[in-house]
């Protein structure tokens, strides 16, 4: 079996203070909680998911602060809410099975039969803490914070505690707001022990309780509703988890019997609520129809707007193109005027060029005549020079022949060949130097032999 802590009670009865105290002592709450507000400066500590699921479900049956009618558990919406609550609780517990998890929601006082089914199906043992407070202080607090009328606040307080005590058979811990605010450490220790928590009280939980937050205390004032007074008297006589449950449940049953005698007002509220829901559903359908019509009209309007925007854009584009065409026409007109001016200048220039051409032509004819005369003179000079060049070439040929003959004679002389031998010996010493005597001897023998040959001839 798994355990969990459930904190409930009438609104403005200390459920937030009790849950905050338990959290400081080690109770694990869900991460998504309703935060602090003017009504609860230190935080509401309400599980947002559970709060919204239960509030939406109860709104199907009765206005706020009115208990649901008999047979509410069989409504299809309850089954949907039950599945969602069951899934949320299982996931929260399994997130850290080693630590104790719990939640707080005053609406739970009306829905404990539903929670009994959930806990039984998931094998969870709940430890239910019922936070109670003087109903006069509750009425004052509800009037201050919510503007609730005293009679409605009294019936709200009464029906919540009657339902919680009846549906749990009194198996709860009755946590008195006034005793906790007054610093009753025995009462606080008993509460923590009931929930399975053992903190260091002075360090962890004591500083959390602020007596200054008991802003609606009403000592000495009495309830106007006798049934509320009877139940408050019974609750004042008990505390914690150790009390005479049979006596308490007997009183609860008696009060419920007296309350049922005047139950006609509740039945009227339930009928009015059902009629209101029917009207609300009809209005919702009408709103849906109107929204559909609105959406269709909006779609048509969007289409018309888009079409208009397209036309506007097209007109703007055409204006831009027109402006461009006008600017281009103006530019072309300017260019044409410039071209005309240039054409006139060109015509004047052509006329000047034609006059100059005629002058140049006359001058050209004169130059051509002089050039032809110069050409004929040059031809005669060229012919004379050609004849002189031919004579010079013939004279040079004869002179070259004489020089060639003289050169061959020099080369064939003994002195030239001897000089050649000596120069080789000087330019390339070594073998050429040693060969000089031999070559000279050969030269003289050769010359001698040529001389002898010439003598014989």
Give the separation between CA 26 and CA 93, rounded to whole angstroms.
Answer: 14
102-111, 223-232, 372-381 — most confident range: 102-111
- Answer yes or no: is pLDDT of 255 > 70: yes
Name 47's bridge partners. 33
Residue 39 Cα distances to 14, 36, 71, 143, angstroms: 11, 8, 34, 12
99-113, 197-211, 258-272 — most confident range: 99-113
pLDDT per position as a tens digit, 133-143: 999 999 888 88
Tell me, what's the pLDDT at 109? 95
Listed range (7-11, 54-58, 281-285, 451-455) with the worst mean pLDDT = 451-455
- The residue-averaged pLDDT of 277-301 equals 77
Give the separation between CA 316 and CA 388, rounded to whole angstroms.
Answer: 94
Sign for the pseudo-dihedral over CA of 422, 426, 428, 429: positive
Two tokens, residue 379: 């031809």
Tell me, what's the pLDDT at 202? 41
- Answer yes or no: is pLDDT of 28 > 80: yes
Q: Which residue has the higher pLDDT, 240 or 404?
A: 240
Instruction: Name the pLDDT band for 278 (thresholds 50, 70, 90).
Output: low
pLDDT per position as a tens digit, 266-275: 555 545 545 6
- The residue-averaged pLDDT of 168-187 equals 94
pLDDT per position as a tens digit, 217-226: 555 567 778 9
Tell me, what's the pLDDT at 263? 59
- Answer yes or no: is pLDDT of 55 > 90: yes
Instruction: Name the pLDDT band for 191 (thresholds 50, 70, 90).
Output: very high
Sign for the pseudo-dihedral over CA of 177, 179, 180, 186: negative
pLDDT per position as a tens digit, 68-127: 888 899 998 899 999 999 999 999 999 999 999 999 999 999 999 999 999 999 999 999
Chain centroid to CA 180: how far?
Answer: 49
182 sits in which H/E element: none
Of 286, 271, 287, 285, which Cα lies nearest the Cα of 63?
Answer: 271
**What residues contact 117, with CB distance under 8 A and at least 6 apart?**
82
Give the separation between CA 276 and CA 279, rounded to whole angstroms.
Answer: 5
Tell me, what's the pLDDT at 457? 44
**What separation, in Å, do the N-terminal and C-terminal C-alpha atoms of the chain show?**
163
DSSP track, 118-172: HHHHTTEEEEEEEEE--HHHHHHHHHHHH---HHHHHHHHHHHHHHHHHHHTT-S
Instruction: Name the pLDDT band for 3 (thresholds 50, 70, 90).
Output: very high
Assess contact for 43 and 21: CB atoms under 8 A: no
- Answer yes or no: is pLDDT of 369 > 80: yes
186-190, 296-300, 377-381 — most confident range: 186-190
- Answer yes or no: is pLDDT of 455 > 70: no
Tell me, what's the pLDDT at 269? 52
217 CB-contact burial (10 Å; exposed 0-12 / middle 13-18 / buried 19+): middle
- The residue-averaged pLDDT of 422-441 equals 83
């Amino acid at each position: 079996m798994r355990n969990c802590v459930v904190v409930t009670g009438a609104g403005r009865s200390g459920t937030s203070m009790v849950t905050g105290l338990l959290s400081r002592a080690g109770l694990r709450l869900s991460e998504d909680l309703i935060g602090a507000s003017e009504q609860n400066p230190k935080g509401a500590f309400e599980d947002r998911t559970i709060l919204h699921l239960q509030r939406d479900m109860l709104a199907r049956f009765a206005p706020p602060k009115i208990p649901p009618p008999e047979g509410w558990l069989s409504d299809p919406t309850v089954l949907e809410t039950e599945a969602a609550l069951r899934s949320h609780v299982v996931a929260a517990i399994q997130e850290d099975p080693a630590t104790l998890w719990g939640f707080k929601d005053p609406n739970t006082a009306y829905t404990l039969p539903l929670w009994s089914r959930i806990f039984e199906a998931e094998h969870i043992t709940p430890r239910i803490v019922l936070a109670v407070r003087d109903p006069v202080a509750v009425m004052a607090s509800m009037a201050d914070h919510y503007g609730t009328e005293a009679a409605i606040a009294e019936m709200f307080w009464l029906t919540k505690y009657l339902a919680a005590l009846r549906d749990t058979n009194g198996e709860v811990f009755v946590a008195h707001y006034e005793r906790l605010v007054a610093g009753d450490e025995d009462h606080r220790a008993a509460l923590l022990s009931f929930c399975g928590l053992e903190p260091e009280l002075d360090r962890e939980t004591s500083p959390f309780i602020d007596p200054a937050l008991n802003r609606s205390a009403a000592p000495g004032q009495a309830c106007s509703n006798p049934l509320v007074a009877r139940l408050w008297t019974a609750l004042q006589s008990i505390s914690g988890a150790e009390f005479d449950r049979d006596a308490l449940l007997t009183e609860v049953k008696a009060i419920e019997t007296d309350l049922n005698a005047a139950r006609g007002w509740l039945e009227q509220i339930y009928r009015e609520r059902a009629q209101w829901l029917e009207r609300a559903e009809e209005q919702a359908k009408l709103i849906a129809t109107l929204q559909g019509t609105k959406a269709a009209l909006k779609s048509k309007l969007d289409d018309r707007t888009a079409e208009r925007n397209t036309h506007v854009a097209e007109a703007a584009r055409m204006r831009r193109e027109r402006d461009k065409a006008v600017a281009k026409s103006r530019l072309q007109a300017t260019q044409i005027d410039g071209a005309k001016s240039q054409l006139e200048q060109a015509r004047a220039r052509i006329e000047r060029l034609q006059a100059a051409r005629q002058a140049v032509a006359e001058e050209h004819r004169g130059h051509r005549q002089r050039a032809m005369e110069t050409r004929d003179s040059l031809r005669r000079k060229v012919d004379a020079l050609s004849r002189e060049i031919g004579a010079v070439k013939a004279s040079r040929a004869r002179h070259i022949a004489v020089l060639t003959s003289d050169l061959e004679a020099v080369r064939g002389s003994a002195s030239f060949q001897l000089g050649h031998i000596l120069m080789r010996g000087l330019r390339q010493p070594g073998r050429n130097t040693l060969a000089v005597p031999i070559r000279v001897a050969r030269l003289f023998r050769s010359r001698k032999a040529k001389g002898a040959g010439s003598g014989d001839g």
